[in-house]
Amino acid sequence: MTETTLPRQGTTFRRYAPGDRAHYEWSEDLVHHGESGLCPVYVHRAPPCQGSCPSGHDIRGWLAVARGQEKPRAEQPWQALAFERMTEANPFPAIMGRVCPAPCQEGCNRQEVDDFVGINAVEQYVGDWALEHGLGFVGPETETGKKVAIVGGGPAGLAAAYFLRRMGHGCTIFEEYKALGGMMVFGIPGYRTPRDVLQGEIDRIIAMGVEVRLNTRIGTDVTIADLDRDFDAVFWGIGAQSGKPLPVPGAEATNCVSGISFLRAFNEGRLNHLNGRVLVVGGGDTAMDVAAVARRIGNIDLPAEASDDSPDAVILGKTSQDVARAAKARGAGDVWIVYRRPISKAPATKHELESVIAEGVEIHDQLAPLEVVLDENGRAKALRVVPVDWADGKMVPHEGEEFDIDCALIVGATGQAGDFTGIEDLDNGWGLIDADKLFRVPNHAGHFVGGDAIKPHLLTTAVGHARVAVEGIDRHLRGLEPANRPKVDAHHFSLLSELRSEGLEPEEYDHEEVRGTDSATFAVHNYEDRSFAEIVPHKSLFLGYFEQEPRALRPEVEIDAGNVLGNFNERFKAFSEQDAIHEGERCMSCGMCFECDNCIIYCPQDAVHRIKKDHQVMGRYVETDYHKCVGCHICMDVCPTGYIQMGLGG
């Protein structure tokens, strides 16, 4: 097994913390002489990992596959079933497992025991396994005959194509560049999103029957009127691939560029070296990627006649650098990050920030840019800044303490916007597209939008937008009114689907009056699905059941200031199968039965028993004999996952 984290010390499993004065609602928890008028109900709630995932992954579901609770079909490897579960919500597991900052892990209830579950590491393992074994996507059984135009071939557009094809709708992706992928290709360094991995995940979407038109820009080559004429609906996934300039005087200098253009020049193979100090202004993940790339490509001394080979000329698309020249006498890049807040408040992923510091990037925080200082040729030669403090969320400059930081290149990573040339009507004035809660574009019937075009955020956010938008597109194409979205808007486990897959779905109800449904064949007895509205907190779990099990860590390549130059190796190596299973076993299955038998073992009335094996499915493992149940609450108290709630009247 790989290196593991140390377990937390001093964990308490008491329902009430020291000093608590308020009790739980006694109407539910009061037991008199070991009995009450309540009986157990099996209540499905969403786990916090799913509630925190912008694309709505059923994370608990595919971790249940990893640990062996949900069995694959005969001769099907468990990884294949886990892949099916993952891609219900997101078709890019190998990429997301590498670059997603995993907000799902931040709220993981396992942290109340020891450490969060390594969700994105398992996702990467399964995603890589699927590529290695040639797993693809199944196309639709029937075609609807409807056609949807998708503008932009980035994560939002590709995800929209995937979800549309699953529904049987035809779709055409219009991409203005020569390749698909969007920010996954041009906005993230290739050593973080390996091109063979990314291309493999893109190819299987296109293989579902997606038409692609590259080098075609909507607004120039094709008009919006053309789209409205030729398609039944439009999805806008144009991203925000133009960086906003620094909002200070002098920022129009040619060697003051955006983080997006810097990364695009590198990812297209045009930018191979720098020639002086680089100041990266900003504290987000784009700033960290720019700084990391700048340290890797390094500096060389350029002669005066090589001005056409300058980094800013390359970034602005005027030329490309000579690779042979970059290979000669190259030194590590002199890279500073300038951030106006304390670096501890930076929105960048913690690991990415720690990595660039280890790689030799200098952090200069609590400095507010005032002006780009220009030389006699109008080029930036320094950035004028002022030290600041922060009080009550307000910036307080140190008047009179301004100073200049010499530099050869300034890279602004403080904001993004879209390019609305030819489609100006969609611009909301901020370089983005307005959308309602259903991702419809106002005043454009049949037009939907998702991803960075709404608000720049994570790749997984763009996928989540696409999923919701496509459900709206589907209803629009079928002439149905829009549906309200659930409070926990995710791809939820469905007990009815599980029953149906095993031929155990309830029979049709004849609507005759029936007293009691415990033996009825048309009802799923004593089960309630609240996953669309509730997330199960750790206080609802019996944490005392779980032993401390250290988290398995992905092997990580050590990259520091001494070996960063020219080092384009992936930082993380994939899990072994053993590690993936280990993390699946650490999942506490919050809000869903994981078949531990506690309720059976501890029931003093022998009222809880397993459902017959040929009628068991995920979420239907035990049932209660209400003739025996006295409402003692013990089954609820010892349920590790918070799946049991006392509610039915006895």
489-507 residue pLDDT tens: 998 888 888 888 888 888 8
Q: How far apart are CA 41 and CA 28, in angstroms?
A: 12
Beta strands (DSSP E) in 285-417 are 335-339, 362-365, 367-374, 380-391, 394-397, 403-406, 409-412, 416-417
Q: Of all residues in the chain, what percent carry a pLDDT higher than 90?
A: 76
pTM score over 0.95: no
Asked whether residue 306 carries a pLDDT value surpassing 50, the answer given is no
Mean pLDDT on 194-198:
96
Mean pLDDT on 453-459:
94
Average pLDDT, the chain: 91
Q: Residue 485: which pLDDT band, with cuts at 50, 70 and 90?
A: very high
pLDDT of residue 305: 42
3-state secondary structure of 210: coil
Closest CA to 608 of 642, 636, 635, 639: 635
3-state secondary structure of 613: helix
Asked whether residue 23 carries a pLDDT value surpassing 90, the answer given is no
Q: At what angle do helices 285-297 and 350-358 cross, to 10 degrees?
A: 20
3-state secondary structure of 234: strand
For residue 535, the cross-strand partners are: 46
Q: How far apart are CA 119 and CA 298, in angstroms?
A: 34
Q: Residue type at 594?
A: F
Which H, E and C letters describe 507-572, residue by residue? CCCCCCCCCCCCCCCCCCCCEEECCCCCECCHHHCCHHHCCCCCCECCCECCCCCCCCCCCCCCCE
Lookup: tokens for 64: 């249940």
Mean pLDDT on 90-107:
95
Q: Of all residues in the chain, what percent carry a pLDDT higher than 70?
A: 92
Query: Which tens digit of pLDDT belongs to each residue from 389-435?
Result: 999 889 999 999 999 999 999 999 998 999 999 999 999 999 999 99
Q: Return phi, psi of residue 262, to 5°.
A: -60, -50
Asked whether residue 535 carries a pLDDT value surpassing 90, the answer given is yes
pLDDT of residue 304: 42
Using the structure block, give the residue that is written with the tokens 């135009």. 149
Using the structure block, give the residue that is written with the tokens 């080559």. 221
Asked whether residue 477 carries a pLDDT value surpassing 90, the answer given is yes
Q: Residue type at 186?
A: F
pLDDT of residue 169: 98
pLDDT of residue 495: 87
Q: How far apart are CA 35 and CA 11, in angstroms?
A: 31
CB-based contacts of 569: which residues, under 8 Å, 6+ apart? 191, 557, 559
Mean pLDDT on 186-195:
92
Angle at alpha carbon of residue 243, lines to 239 and 245, rounded to 5°: 150
Query: Which tens digit of pLDDT belongs to each residue from 111-169?
Result: 999 999 999 999 999 999 999 999 999 989 999 999 999 999 999 999 999 999 999 99
Q: How far apart are CA 391 and CA 333, in angstroms?
A: 35
Q: Residue type at 5?
A: T
Return the exposure string of 26-41: e unless at least 16 CB atoms fall within 10 Å of the residue's CB, then b.
Answer: eeeeebeeeebebbbb
Q: Which domains does the chain have, with CATH numbers?
A: 26-134+492-546+587-649 (no CATH), 147-241+418-477 (3.50.50.60), 245-415 (3.50.50.60)
Q: Are 419 and 239 in contact (CB under 8 A)?
A: no
| Antiparallel, parallel or unpaired: β 233-236 and 242-243 | unpaired
Closest CA to 367 of 352, 386, 391: 386
Asked whether residue 638 carries a pLDDT value surpassing 50, the answer given is yes
